[in-house]
């Protein structure tokens, strides 16, 4: 249930003073308490020694340190609490997966199918809007009562796309590399692609473009390197060309009817409010970072960037009429948010964390000691992890639970591959013995 509902922002979510407590977080709290109780009952905690835990806890510390300079102490404190919460969620994922390869495989399969489940729900939303004129949990409409925008369990379509793109990347790589790990790879991958496209989230379109273009480039390099056609790459290229040939005439003929999909982009006479606002907010966030030397070092507090701007209306031209308005002002780019929120200290730790995960997955994906089935899984999580980080730069915050869960899965896979195949003779667990 936690895995399936990890992206939920509006379904069974509780709003407390601007902070959102999600059902997946409540369920994990229960699960975590049960784990602690079991550990105390058995008089020991089994915690894996995992190198990624160091930058994760240091990142939490950088948020705590930024409280010194925060002008919105409540929100920064809440962000710190969620960072710690997410860190323990990752620790739990790793220790659960490490118990056995069967546990790891079960987690991966459920995680993969959860994207298919949410994609089906998203498809149901748009079909329901067309057929019945209403749809469950829909927050935005292209045409009220006629055509909804898919947002799944998220606040809006862009957040839905940011969540789904990791699943699209996972399923696509498993199909592209002909993985035997799971069935229906091609059906699942292209179904998720279709739902993301229909969601009309431009960040999702960009993510799919990155996936397809990357695969085509890989196929071309593969051909010149091996003088052999990459069969999956050829299939993809043919499919992409056919889709383009069919789509272009249809778009030209129905351009006036489809023009609304470009709303907010500034293209073909449409207003550029959406794109320009996000770009302007990125620039303002960088200005916040450069505003004072202390901001360079420890930041202005993660979650407090909007408050910093509002407190200087003459400099940033932003005002707020109430508490909720102050809470809602956020950067639209994860990298600049972390840089301005936690300073160069937190930003460097964040880069360290991303690099250490990516490098480990890359090394494992080409390590002959790892069986082919798991090497492909490492590749799938590597590229989906990188893709998710890239797409988060459009409109998201790094502390969303699904981002940390995906990161936790990536760390768990790297850890288990090292433990079961490379360091199998080493005792990596350390035990904290306690007395009731």
Tokens of 178: 């002909």
Task: Tell whether 43 is covered by a domain.
Answer: no
Other CB atoms within 10 A of residue 347 CB: 21
Q: Reduced to 3 states, what is the DSSP secondary structure of residue 4? A: coil
pLDDT on residue 434: 38
Question: Which of 98-107, 125-134, 303-312 has the highest average model confidence (pLDDT)?
Answer: 98-107
Tokens of 212: 């397809």
What predicted TM-score, i.e. pTM, was given to this entire model? 0.87
- Judged against a pLDDT cut of 50, whether residue 376 lies above it is answered with yes
Number of domains in the chain: 1
H-helix or E-strand spanning residue 147: strand 147-148
| pLDDT top residue among 142 and 9 | 9
Cα separation of 193 and 187, whole Å? 10
- Cβ density class 32-57: b for 16+ within 10 Å, e for less: eeebeeebeeeeebebbebebbebbe
Kindly report, residue by residue over 342-370, the tens digit of the pLDDT: 999 999 999 999 999 999 999 999 998 99
Task: Tell whether 6 is covered by a domain.
Answer: no
pLDDT on residue 259: 58
Task: Tell whether 211 is covered by a domain.
Answer: yes
Kindly report, residue by residue over 249-268, the tens digit of the pLDDT: 876 776 665 655 555 544 54
Q: Give how far Cα 208 sits from Cα of 49, 202, 211, 384, Å.
A: 36, 10, 5, 11
Cα separation of 387 and 157, whole Å? 18
Tokens of 368: 């002959």
Kindly report, residue by residue over 187-208, the tens digit of the pLDDT: 999 999 999 988 888 888 889 9
Would you mind telling me the total number of residues written for the chain in this entry? Answer: 436
Task: Tell whether 121 is covered by a domain.
Answer: no
pLDDT on residue 42: 81
Rounded CA Rg of the chain: 23
H-helix or E-strand spanning residue 176: helix 157-176
Which residues constitute the domain of residue 287? 29-36+48-107+135-433
Other CB atoms within 10 A of residue 24 CB: 24
Cα separation of 266 and 275, whole Å? 8
C-beta separation of 216 from 239 below 8 A: no
pLDDT category at 430 given cuts 50, 70, 90 is very low
**Residue matched to tokens 């408050």:** 307
String of DSSP letters for 119-160: HHHHHHHHHHHHHHS--TT---EEETTTEEPP-TTSSSHHHH
């Amino acid at each position: 249930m936690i895995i399936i509902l990890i992206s939920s922002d509006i379904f069974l979510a509780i709003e407390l003073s601007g902070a959102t407590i999600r059902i997946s977080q409540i369920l994990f709290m229960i699960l975590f308490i049960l784990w602690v109780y079991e550990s105390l009952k058995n008089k020991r905690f089994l915690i894996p020694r995992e190198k990624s835990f160091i930058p994760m806890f240091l990142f939490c510390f950088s948020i705590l340190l930024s409280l010194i300079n925060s002008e919105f102490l409540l929100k920064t404190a809440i962000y710190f609490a969620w960072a710690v919460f997410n860190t323990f969620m990752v620790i739990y994922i790793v220790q659960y997966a490490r118990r056995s390869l069967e546990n790891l495989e079960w987690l991966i399969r459920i995680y993969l199918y959860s994207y298919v489940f949410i994609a089906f729900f998203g498809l149901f939303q748009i079909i329901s809007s067309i057929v019945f004129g209403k749809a469950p949990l829909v927050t935005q409409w292209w045409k009220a009562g006629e055509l909804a925008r898919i947002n799944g369990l998220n606040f809006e379509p862009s957040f839905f796309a940011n969540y789904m793109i990791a699943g699209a990347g996972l399923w696509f790589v498993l199909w592209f590399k002909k993985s035997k790990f799971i069935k229906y790879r091609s059906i699942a991958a292209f179904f998720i692609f279709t739902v993301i496209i229909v969601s009309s989230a431009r960040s999702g379109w960009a993510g799919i473009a990155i996936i397809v273009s990357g695969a085509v480039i890989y196929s071309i390099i593969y051909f010149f390197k091996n003088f052999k056609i990459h069969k999956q790459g050829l299939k993809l290229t043919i499919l992409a060309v056919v889709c383009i040939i069919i789509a272009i005439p249809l778009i030209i003929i129905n351009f006036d009817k489809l023009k609304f999909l470009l709303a907010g982009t500034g293209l073909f006479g449409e207003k550029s409010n959406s794109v320009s606002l996000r770009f302007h907010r990125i620039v303002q966030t960088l200005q916040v970072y450069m505003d004072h030397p202390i901001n360079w070092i420890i930041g202005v507090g993660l979650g407090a960037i909007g408050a910093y701007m509002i407190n200087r209306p003459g400099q940033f031209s932003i005002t707020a009429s109430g508490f909720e308005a102050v809470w809602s002002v956020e950067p639209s780019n994860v990298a600049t948010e972390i840089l301005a929120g936690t300073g160069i200290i937190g930003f460097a730790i964040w880069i360290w964390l991303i690099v250490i995960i990516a490098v480990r997955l890359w090394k494992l994906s080409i390590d002959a000691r790892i069986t082919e089935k798991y090497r492909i899984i490492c590749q799938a999580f590597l590229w989906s992890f990188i893709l998710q980080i890239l797409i988060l730069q459009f409109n998201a915050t790094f502390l969303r639970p699904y981002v940390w869960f995906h990161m936790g899965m990536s760390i768990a896979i790297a850890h288990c591959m090292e433990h079961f195949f490379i360091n199998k003779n080493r005792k990596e667990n350390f035990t904290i013995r306690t007395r009731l």
